[in-house]
Amino acid sequence: MNKSESKYFNTALRFNKALLSLLEKKSFAYITIREICQEAGVNRSTFYLHYENTSDLLKETTQYVLDTFLSYFPVDTQSIAQRFQDCSLNDLVFITPEYLTPYLTFIKENQRIFSTAIRQFGTMDLRNVYNKMSLYIFNPILSRFHFPEKDRQYVMKFYLSGITAIVMQWLENDCSDSIEQISKIIIDCVMGKIDASIS
């Protein structure tokens, strides 16, 4: 990356962070370019060098959040979709520490970003991301487990809503409980608590 590319990237990053900061306080529809520039410490003409409008910035900011999230996962887990058809059913279980630890680490280290993304789910077009995940990840997995196609959207909504509720409670507690503890709670809730001491 040369100096001008680096400068462009750093300015774009300031805009991304400024928009996320403003989204914590108000709905996207009420955020102005002036406020974004003020928050980023950049003048208005610089904004127009990067974007045509606030919607362009929102698309880039959403991608920034997703890229940040994916950077927490090892490369081999990012390409997991390629193995869905050939792997054993045991390898299709993602409610394991291998996958939960990077997910929860991202959340703990980016609490504000994650909370904003959840609150602004529709605005940031994360529904489109969810739909792609359904198509390329959830559906192939549920198909291997022989869930009827008409039932899959309900099954995934059930699992994801439960995991999100646990995470949101963790965020309310300022992520004070350990990642290992939250990971175990999620696994126990999804897979069923395996504890022979309870009779």
Of the given ranges (1-10, 91-100, 150-159), which has the lowest mean pLDDT?
A: 1-10
Shared-domain flag, residues 129 and 176: yes
Q: Are 100 and 157 within one domain?
A: yes
Asked if residue 15 is part of any domain, the answer here is: yes
Q: How confident is the model over 114-169, as pLDDT tens digits?
A: 888 787 777 777 777 777 777 777 888 888 888 899 998 898 889 888 998 999 99
Check pLDDT > 80 for residue 30.
yes
Q: DSSP letter at 177?
A: S
Cα–Cα distance measured from residue 42 to residue 35, given in angstroms and rounded to the nearest whole number: 10
Co-location of 7 and 82 in the same domain: no
101 and 36 both lie in a single domain:
no
Other beta carbons within 10 Å of 20: 21
Closest CA to 198 of 186, 183, 188, 187: 188
Q: Is residue 92 part of a domain?
A: yes
Domain range enclosing 37: 1-54
Give the residue, 112 or 169, on which the prediction is more confident: 169
* Rounded average pLDDT over 85-89: 75
81 and 44 co-located in one domain = no
Same domain assignment for residues 112 and 164: yes
48 and 84: one domain?
no
pTM (2 d.p.) = 0.74
Shared domain for 108 and 31, answered yes or no, is no
The domain spanning residue 11 has which CATH number?
Answer: 1.10.10.60
Question: Does residue 78 carry a pLDDT above 70?
Answer: no
